[in-house]
Chains A and B, each alone.
Chain A
Amino acid sequence: DGGITQSPKYLFRKEGQNVTLSCEQNLNHDAMYWYRQDPGQGLRLIYYSQIVNDFQKGDIAEGYSVSREKKESFPLTVTSAQKNPTAFYLCASKGTPAGENYEQYFGPGTRLTVT
């Protein structure tokens, strides 16, 4: 998980509440990503950012929002508009936006449960 931290590891919220998941990296990476993983499924892209103050929607952005005010930080807010927010959320970063052969480094994940 080196260099990327996600907090908290487990998060419980009531339906209708917004919740923000933290993602911090000290790898000096430009690009950062948020994925959602449901049981037995692969990763689906929520949002990504290739550079500070810029981000793009992924495949399942509805009900989520992000910000990228600092290179090190890419927080994800799960809003009450997200119909099925209970999932495992993974943050990742990559060396440079144009680095086509750079691997992604993943954080340990946050398991969000909404009841």
Chain B
Amino acid sequence: SQQGEEDPQALSIQEGENATMNCSYKTSINNLQWYRQNSGRGLVHLILIRSNEREKHSGRLRVTLDTSKKSSSLLITASRAADTASYFCATALTRAGTALIFGKGTTLSVSS
């Protein structure tokens, strides 16, 4: 069951620009997480935002969560070529340790 849907599917920007990716989901969640995947590699956790939080920052990352609209956004500021990767949102439905439900991802390409 695909819970999250990222938008856009693909994004191409120049170094130094900001990149914004959006995620929409269908059911109530406990928390929402963003992961990054370099081509052919495993996923790396970037940031987690709880359902009672509205915004969170980590370095050049800024995540917002709007539970009324069931949506989240990930902003990467001052993008670098090394940010080129696929980005996935994942939702945790309950606190009881159930597995995450991943979206299909946004592929970000940053050119120098």
Q: Which residues in A have some Cβ–Cβ distance to B below 8 Å?
A: 1, 4, 6, 31, 33, 35, 40-45, 48, 50, 58-59, 88, 90, 92, 94, 96-101, 103-109, 111
Pick from A6, A104, A105 the residue with the most CB of B within 10 Å.
A104
- Provide a sorted-by-A list of 26 A–B residue pairs whose CB atoms are within 8 angstroms: A1-B42, A4-B42, A6-B42, A42-B102, A43-B102, A44-B102, A58-B99, A59-B1, A90-B42, A98-B96, A98-B97, A99-B97, A100-B30, A100-B94, A100-B96, A101-B31, A101-B48, A103-B33, A104-B43, A104-B100, A105-B45, A106-B35, A106-B42, A106-B43, A106-B44, A111-B40
Q: Which residues in B have some Cβ–Cβ distance to A below 8 Å?
A: 1-2, 4, 30-31, 33, 35, 40-45, 48, 50, 88, 90, 92, 94-97, 99-105
Residue of A nearest to B44 (CB): A106
Interchain pairs with CB closer than 8 A, number:
70
